[in-house]
Amino acid sequence: MTVTAVQKDANALTMTVTAEFDASPERVWQLWADPRQLERWWGPPTYPATFTALDLRSGGRASYYMTGPDGDATPPGYWEILIAEPPRRLEMIDGFANADGTPNQQMPGPGGMNVTIEPIGESRTRMTIENIFPDQGAMEQLLAMGQEEGMRQAVGQIDAILAEARAA
Partner 1 sequence: MQVMPNYDGMFGALADATRRDIVRRAIDAQEGIAEVATHYPMSFAAVQKHVAILERAGLVTKQRIGRRKVVRTNVEALRVARRLLDRYEELWLGRIGRMSDLINEAPPKETEQ
List residues near partner 1 by CB under 8 A. Answer: 2, 4, 6, 8, 10-11, 13, 15, 17, 19, 21-24, 26-31, 37, 40-42, 44, 86-87, 105-106, 123, 129, 131, 135-137, 139-143, 146-147, 149-152, 154, 156-162, 164-165, 168
Q: Pick the closer one to partner 1 by CB: 61 or 88.
A: 88
Q: Pick the closer one to partner 1 by CB: 71 or 152.
A: 152
Query: How many CA atoms, within 13 angstroms, populate the side-chain half-sphere of residue 109?
Result: 6
Q: How far is the CB of 1 from partner 1 (least distance, A)?
A: 9
Long-range contacts of 116-121 (CB under 8 A, 24+ apart): 116/88, 116/89, 117/25, 117/28, 117/29, 117/87, 117/88, 117/89, 117/90, 118/25, 118/88, 119/24, 119/25, 120/20
Distance between first and last Cα of the chain: 41
Q: How far is the CB of 86 from partner 1 (least distance, A)?
A: 5
Contact indicator for 4, 17 with CB cutoff of 8 Å:
yes
Q: Pick the closer one to partner 1 by CB: 101 or 156.
A: 156
Q: Pick the closer one to partner 1 by CB: 65 or 127.
A: 127
